[in-house]
Structure 1
Amino acid sequence: MSKRNSKLFFMYLLIFSLVFSSFAGLGGAVSIEESSQPNVYLDVDPTSADLITVIVELEEESILEAKHNGNFQSAELLEAERQVIIAEISKVANVTVGQEYDYVFSGFSLEIAENELHHLLSIAGVKAVYENVEYQVSSFDVDFETVSPMMMDSAPFIGANDAWEAGFTGKGVTVAIIDTGVDYTHPDLAHAFGEYKGWDFVNNDADPQETITGLLSRRTNHGTHVAGTVAANGEIKGVAPDATLLAYRVLGPGGSGTTQNVIAGIERAVLDGADVMNLSLGNTSNNPDFATSIALDRAMADGVVAVTSNGNSGPNDWTVGSPGTSRQAISVGATMLPYNLYSAGIFTSEGVDYPSSAVMGYPSEDELLALTDGEFEFVWVGLAGTAADFAGKDLEGKIALMQRGDYAFQVKAENAKAHGAIGAVIFNNQPGVQPEIPGTPIPMIMTSQEDGQKLQAELEAGNNMISFDIEFVKEVGETMANFSSRGPVMGTWMIKPDVSAPGVAINSTVPLHHASGPHTHGYASLQGTSMAAPHVAGAAALILEAHPDWSVDFVKAALMNTAENLFDADGNLYPHNSQGAGSIRVLDAINTEILVTPGSHSFGIFTNMDEREVRSQSFTIHNVSNERKRLAIDFTGHEGIKVTTSKNLQIQPGRTQELNFNVQVDTRKLDPGFYEGTFILTYGNQKVEVPTIVFVQIPNNVNLATWQSIGISGGNVVGNVSLPFGADVFDVRIRSEATGELLRVIPSGTNLTAGTYGIVWDMTVNEEALAPGRYQVIAYVKKGNREQEIIGGTLNVN
């Protein structure tokens, strides 16, 4: 099994190689029983003395968690509890404490050797241990000077200018930018900052400025760009130009940082009174129970609208990463604004066809169409990634022929432009399709690998002239960016993203610190879900100004309920797990009269394969108008999924009503997988759509069990196995690694509920000590029609 399979939890996987010379004192006891050990979400090598940093969560509730549960908690009590646990681990291990948390998260970060981590797991009061994963800003550079003016219109496109005309500009609303810092001296941003500007968790001071010194590759501009999309008011105008900003620098040089600072930034922003927070950062863990996701859930519970990017690992399903996996925060996918679609034909000599040729990207329509004006010489530049690829070659006014691979498309295009090329043809390095890349520095035409080889053959034959036939095909509406990560979320089975917003070639502010560098103008165009999220954060600020008494759930619902459906270039509706509820429209969200919470719904997993299965569920409808509303209700989806509910509903002004319904899933008509559907609520000429998702059988890419710990204690192999779905049958099997022969089955449990179970094996087979060899310790689980064996570790006996 892959050490990092896609699964519900990160595994605490102790792959151990132990040598035994005797087995004195071994008994015959073996068992499986429920375990109370902490959950552990990381991989560890217990033989390594390398230092690692982990995030420790305590059993004691955080202040916000206690408040939400109706309990009392104080910073003093939490400090005392932390000190008790720190003192206990310090008795047996050399540790260094980093950040400490008590408001949105109860715990601390700790530096400890890998081979001493097991001591921490035996201390009472420890609830969970998380990996201190690295977070990276997720955006891509686009040459500012060649960005189409169309790309400057993202805020007006979502209706921000309509909201301004209605009197809503974000005034009185505070937005926290949790990122790489912000250049608060930028002329378009200075108005948004007061004397207190936030906090720098990288340098631990009150100056959250971007990284502006050192190597150019280490300097950052991401946080300033994000801040400009939210609240710039100058040459660039953000979505909420009169909002107040606070900056929290949690990502340092190069735009990277770790969990311990991200949680600290979330906590500080809540304590500082932020109304909205934006986190344009992420990792690849599809886990709703990761520490940063939990922190955002609790921030939302305290009334702070948390907005986060969904990730740039698309377009496949299941690619959303934490904190985009948060149950409560608003996760945002990225879209591309409407554009004109062009076809691109290539001609080099009679009898040679290039049927795969298409437009990859271009800086402006004029420059693209200029390729139709005559013939051009084309020059082979290989991968176009280094100076050596261009050495001794004249590209002035010519076309660069290059191959995909090793370097980003943008880098290749920039290099070709720097050497005088006015266009490029790039062919694939493998069978398949290349992506469209909007806003490339020079027009780029892409072809298949086969057609690229034809072009190379033409050059070898001396046919080095090329001409193009570029023709307008049609206008394409707003579409999902190919890179935007997709849901669903493992464990909660939620649809993600929640909404989408423009995130391709977004022009915004960057620091003014590079006097001799490429950003002296103070603006740049970037793309990524990092650029989409601040559009939503700014929209949330406008909504809160318009409705200061609205809860975070109302703000989220308003954005989701009024979002526009998105269709691909061929007119096909995008799946919910690509676009969420759709692309946001700010003024519609402000003016909506009906709110449905939550804004999307997961029916969960149906595993009964022998008959129809029926469940009763509900969501809530709020009439926020001053008039009675009569709603017509309908549901569309797969024929094997039927929803029964009232066809009509009347809600009095200012009142709330539950919409109860039964969902019937006929698994006999459905293959295993997930299926989407939509509730449609109509009132007058208004319509609210609520995306839904249902799972038939446990998804094949989700493990039925995860080892949370395994090791040796008292002459026994002991471990903990999490069963997130329960099990019809569960046992632990011992196999010969060499032959795969099943040597022993530790007594099985049947019809187990979801939970964590401890196992003990006395390291005997047939009541005899193990002979020399290598033995695998394996968890076997059967649930429904699925069976799975998951290796916990390998025991080496000499």
Structure 2
Amino acid sequence: MHKAVLCLCMVLLCSGFKAPEATEKVTIIVEVDQSVENFVDRIETRIPRLEVVAKYDTIFKGVAIKGTAGELEKLARLDTVIQQYPVQTYKTLKEELPSFSTDWIRERYDLPFTGKGVKVGVIDTGVDYSHPDLEGSYKGGFDTVDFDDDPMETQGEGETLHGTHVAGVIAADGQMKGIAPGAELYAYRALGPGGMGSSVQVIAAIEEAVEDGMDVINLSLGNDVNGPDWPTSHAVNKAVELGTTVVVAAGNSGPDSWTVGSPATSSKAITVGASSVPDEVPLLSIPGERRHIPVQVMLGSVPWELSKKYPLIKAGKGHDELQEARGKIVVFERGDISFTEKAIKAFQAGAVAVVIYNNDEGIFQGALEGNIPIPVAAVSRDDGEWLLNEGGEAGQWVETLMSQAKEEIAPFSSRGPVTTSWEVKPDLVAPGVNIVSTVPGGYQPLQGTSMAAPHVAGVAALILEAHPDWTPQEVKAALLSSADLMTQEENLYQPTEQGNGMLDIVESIQPELLIESGALEFGRIGDRFFRKQLPIKVKNPTEKQQEIYIERPSLQPGVSWRVPSVISLAPGETKTANVEIQLSKAFVKPGVHEGYLKLESNGAQYQIPYLYMKEDAEYAKVTGFELTQSTGRERTLSYRFHLTEEVDKVTVDLYRAGTMLYQGQLMKIDKPEAGLVEGEIQRTSSDLAGPYLATVNVQVKGKNETYTFPIRFSD
């Protein structure tokens, strides 16, 4: 039987079947072993009451025929008929009206503003402005990849959808309603096929957006340079100075610290991490075992809603044909073939669900292409191997339990702090897990800080509609002052995980208090006795008197705080007060120290993150290493990297990738300063076409640290 027909049969079996009456008109599909045209002629001559609805001669030879059940029964007597299939009514395997996080937010809070009149620029992969939910909001833009005024998403080879998804969260106005459906949407395509682009294109897009008068810019892009001195971070700072509110995604390199990358490291940007919203999470359980395995449903999968117990079957990486998989959960190892190919194999073999476990440490994110009728989920390597050992090989059946998941920081969300400046990032967090939004041709769920940032950009548009004269600093202060701290198992997440906390839309639009000074970043402790004052600037935007009380942080050995006892603010008044910290270095443990300074006014609670660091912490000294070869006669090599601190010496050696043959030392720099390091090297040998590995060795305080970066020189 043809595979396409086999799939059709299995879907019919899953969807159920009701026998028709003899006089009831139905449609069936008939597969034949002769010419389709000859068969149709034969039907019209011998059984004229039947109606030929459609003909098929590509996937298989057959026709769709409509008639009464009694008349259709005569077809079975024809020797040219191989098989008959009942026809069912199908619907998309995704919900016809998806559950949009933005709809939930707007309905929950009954937002009185839509962002009307506010210009929002999306710097991304472009936008499908022909999407029915975006065509009304879209007002124009520019393409810094092809340098024209058509910022459409890449189509065909290397096609993209990211920018359209981001744009929908901000300003969709159709079946989906974005956070700010009344905003004026502009698109700036800085990332081309495959979602790739350079800092040159990103900076050009920022410049275009500022020149076009954008009130808000959203940048759901970034790199791994954890430092404030990269050109894109400088460009963002300049855009804010010129009056544009800039929102940037923190990155998806969590849960480790020091993973926020440029331009999210910009001190003036609003950097956004990702959180999940409360939801039911499926857990796999084996009878008699206390351990429960959480499954992360892949993007594009149908929900995991199994209500019975099922056996497991091991399928390796999916190279072999599946045997005896009907009615079972197929467990694959990640690798070699795509998630979609694995899922299709399992579905065609009659499986009820698919679990794919990682081939490396930890959990992973996955996405499916097309519609797979059975759920597909990811688990860690440890969890997958345990399931197979305790379930599959032991003959145990697995059941699904549903657990109520709490609101929490997404594990992939990048964490701070920022090297060199020792700043707290992200500034706040917003929903970024399984966010359904617009994509070319429809809707799709995606997750990442890329999805969290446009929630905040949309709220920034609402704030500017409500307060059109506010500066970017005031918009940022409103968002951060009103954010709600998140906890994990009764303990607060740290500032470098959540910043000021979860986005609070209503409070940010009409804040009772503006804390304009941001986080208290005391920097690195070098002296034996350390003392530093930092200002906190507060503004009363209301028409009532406010008394602000500040609570000292909990006492720690060798640390003391001085804070004002009370700050009195008249309506509309702004005041600045100082907070001082004193440290005795001998009593303070090495590493990053962070927490919150807590404030109270008129019964409302507020918080200001603080951070200081003693000596070194576990962060990379070199990030973002780039090496490019000129095409001129002089054959110069241009290099650029970020150095997190001043070191004794940096050397760079080049090796041929694969063979690891040594190609020589490229450079040696003595006593380089922290920040952006760049320059040129004169190269007299032949072209360096092909892939290489650059090893960067750093000598600091008598220790050596080595970092490896892949390099490819074009022909």
Match of 1:666 among 584, 589, 596: 584
The 1:607–1:181 alpha-carbon spacing in structure 2 relative to 1, beyond 3 Å, is same
Which residue does the alignment assign to 1:254? 194
AA of the residue aligned to 1:452: E
- Quote the offset at 1:506 in angstroms: 0.6
Q: Would the alpha carbon gap of residues 417 and 222 (structure 1) be closer, same or farther in structure 2, given more than 3 Å must change?
A: farther
CA distance in 1, matches of 2:174, 2:626: 53
Kindly tell me: are residues 406 and 696 of structure 1, through their superposed partners in 2, closer, same or farther at Cα, counting changes over 3 Å?
A: farther
What is the identity, as a one-letter code, of the residue corresponding to 2:472?
V
* Paired residues of 2:622 and 2:641 also in contact (CA < 8 A): no
Over 3 Å counting, the alpha-carbon distance change for 1:689 and 1:223 in structure 2 is: same
Alpha-carbon shift at residue 402 of structure 1 (Å) = 1.7
Other-structure match for 1:424: 354
CA 1:499–1:414 in structure 2 vs 1: closer, same or farther (change >3 Å)?
farther
Q: 1:192 aligns with which of 126, 133, 137?
A: 137
Partners of 1:578 and 1:147 in 2: how far apart?
Answer: 33
What is aligned with 2:445? 525
Q: Which runs of 5+ in 1 are unaligned?
A: 1-143, 348-352, 513-521, 710-718, 734-745, 759-775, 793-798
Distance 1:369 1:278, change over 3 A: closer
How far apart in 2 are the matches of 1:435 and 1:583?
24
Match of 1:311 among 236, 241, 251: 251
1:323-355 Cα shifts (integer Å, max 9, x gaps): 1111111111111110234543225xxxxx766
Counterpart residue identity of residue 191, structure 2:
L
Residue type at the aligned position of 2:353: G
* 1:548 aligned to which of 468, 473, 476: 468
Q: Alpha carbon RMSD of aligned pairs, Å? A: 4.0
Shift of 1:490: 0.8
Q: Which residue identity does 2:458 align to in structure 1?
A: G
Structure 2 partner of 1:175? 120
Please give the per-residue CA displacement for 1:705-730, whole angstroms capped at 9, x wherever unaligned.
Answer: 99999xxxxxxxxx999997668xx6
Alignment partner, residue 697 of structure 1: 615
Alpha-carbon shift at residue 191 of structure 1 (Å): 0.9
1:487 alignment partner, one of 410, 416, 441: 416
Q: Report the counterpart of residue 633 of structure 1 in structure 2.
A: 550
Gaps of 5+ in 2: 1-91, 628-638, 652-667, 679-694, 708-715
The residue type equivalent to 2:579 in the other structure is: F
Matched with 1:564 is 484
Aligned to 2:99, the other structure's residue is in SS state: helix
Q: What is the distance in 1 between the residues matched to 2:358 and 2:486? A: 29
Q: How does 1:718-797 map to 2 (within 5 A)?
A: 782=701, 787-788=702-703
**Which of 205, 210, 234 in structure 2 is aligned with 1:270?**
210
Where do 1:672-691 residues align within 5 Å?
A: 672-691=590-609
Pick aligned residue for 1:361 from 289, 296, 304: 296
For the 8 Å contact 2:358–2:364, the answer to whether it is kept is no
Q: CA deviation at 1:281?
A: 0.9
Out of 294, 313, 317, which is 1:379 matched to? 313
2:407 aligned partner:
478
| Structure 2 residue aligned with 1:576 | 495
- Alignment partner of 1:403 is 2:333: yes
Q: Deviations over 1:38-66 (max 9, x none)?
A: xxxxxxxxxxxxxxxxxxxxxxxxxxxxx
1:593 aligned partner: 512
- Partner secondary structure for residue 507 of structure 2: helix
Match of 1:455 in 2: 388
Secondary structure in structure 1 of the residue aligned to 2:239: helix
Structure-1 separation of matches of 2:641 and 2:326: 64
Aligned pair in 2 of structure 1 residues 225, 289: CA closer, same or farther (>3 Å)?
A: same
SS at structure 1 position matched to 2:582:
strand
SS at match of 1:228: helix
- For 2:487, what is the secondary structure of its paired residue? coil
Residue identity in the other structure for 1:604? G
Work out whether residues 438 and 505 of structure 1, in 8 Å CA contact, stay in contact via their aligned partners in 2.
no
Determine which structure has greater relative contact order: mean sequence separation of CA pairs < 8 Å that are 6+ residues apart, divided by chain length: 1
Give the direction of change, closer, same or farther, for the CA distance of 1:757–1:366 in structure 2 (3 Å limit): closer
2:562–2:579: 8 Å Cα contact kept in structure 1? yes
Instruction: Output the amino acid matched with 2:308.
Output: D
Larger mean Cα displacement after TM superposition, 172-181 or 398-407: 398-407
- Paired residue for 2:438, among 509, 523, 534? 509
Whether contact under 8 Å (1:722, 1:756) holds in the other structure is: yes
Find the residue that maps to 2:421 and give its secondary structure.
Answer: coil
From the CA coordinates, give the structure whose radius of gyration is larger: 2
Shift in Å at residue 540 of structure 1?
0.3
Matched, 1:236 2:176: yes
Give deviations 1:564-622, integer Å, cap 9, x for gaps.
Answer: 22223x343222111111110111101112111233221111123x4x42112212111
Q: In structure 2, how many angstroms separate the alpha carbons of the residues matched to 1:656 and 1:482?
A: 38
Percent sequence identity over aligned pairs: 36
Q: Secondary structure at the match of 2:491?
A: coil
- Give 1:627 deviation, angstroms: 2.1
TM-score calculated relative to the size of structure 1: 0.64
Q: 1:454 to 1:624 in 2, by over 3 A?
A: closer
Question: How far is the alpha carbon of 1:756 from its aligned partner?
Answer: 11
Kindly tell me the number of residue pairs found equivalent between the two proteins.
567
Distance 2:481 2:301 in 1: 35
Cα contact 1:359–1:444 (8 A) shared by 2:
no
Change (3 A) 1:497 1:411: farther
> Which residue of 620, 628, 651 maps to 2:537?
620
What secondary structure, in the 3-state scheme, does the structure 1 residue paired with 2:235 have? Answer: helix
* Partner Cα distance (1:698, 1:236) in 2: 48
Q: Does 1:648 align with 2:566?
A: yes
Match runs of 1:76-155 below 5 Å: 145=93, 152-155=99-102
